[in-house]
A and B are shown apart, each in its own frame.
Chain A
Amino acid sequence: AQSVTQLGSHVSVSEGALVLLRCNYSSSVPPYLFWYVQYPNQGLQLLLKYTSAATLVKGINGFEAEFKKSETSFHLTKPSAHMSDAAEYFCAVRSSGGYNKLIFGAGTRLAVHP
């Protein structure tokens, strides 16, 4: 069965500091991986996705993620945090069971302080 683990339910950084949100996955097939962002009381917005092309994926708002097969990881990074980055972030893997179902991690809430 596939699964996603996000290490750290809460992460706090200073404005201008590096953002690192961790995601590890379990999959018996080559995975399709996604990072979504959710602002309070809103839906999810796609930040970036890995679909077996380049291992370093660039997304919106300056975020990027690197697929590391040997570590089964897909960590999300941003060199310099902005106050507007404060939100909840979800890592997801596409299910191998068909219908493009997504399996989500529990989420990481990012706080950015001045």
Chain B
Amino acid sequence: DGGITQSPKYLFRKEGQNVTLSCEQNLNHDAMYWYRQDPGQGLRLIYYSQIVNDFQKGDIAEGYSVSREKKESFPLTVTSAQKNPTAFYLCASRWTESNEQFFGPGTRLTVL
């Protein structure tokens, strides 16, 4: 089955710890995106990547980092510098020739 997988589904972290969220796609999409979702605020773009080894900051990149070493993988690290990391994180991907973004099932991060 083709699609986007995110793991883990639920993640708990202590304050001051870095944590990495996984996003993998087997759709052969070039572009990948990370969004953060908070209640009542819709989705906000954290980082995006058009091609391997290239990525750009989105609207709320502070406290986050990414890498794009492989076409199918775009992991997001939430660092201790992120002041309010508890949220639902969504990964998406897209063919270069299309406007449509496909979303993964999300990871819910809770900081204890």
Contacts and interface: CB of A to CB of B under 8 A. Distances in A.
Interface residues of A, number: 23
Interface string A22-54: 000000000010101000011111100101000
Interface in B29-65: 31, 33, 40-45, 48, 50, 56, 58
A32 B48 CA distance: 19
A104 B100 contact: no
Contacts of A46: 100-102
Interface of A: 4, 9, 32, 34, 36, 41-46, 49, 51, 90, 94, 99-102, 104-107
Interface of B: 4, 6, 9, 31, 33, 40-45, 48, 50, 56, 58, 88, 90, 92, 94, 99-106, 108
Contacts of B58: 101
A45 B105 CA distance: 10
Interface centre among A49, A105, A107 (most CB of B within 10 A): A107
Given A43-B90, A104-B42, A106-B42, A99 B108 contact: no
A9 B43 contact: no
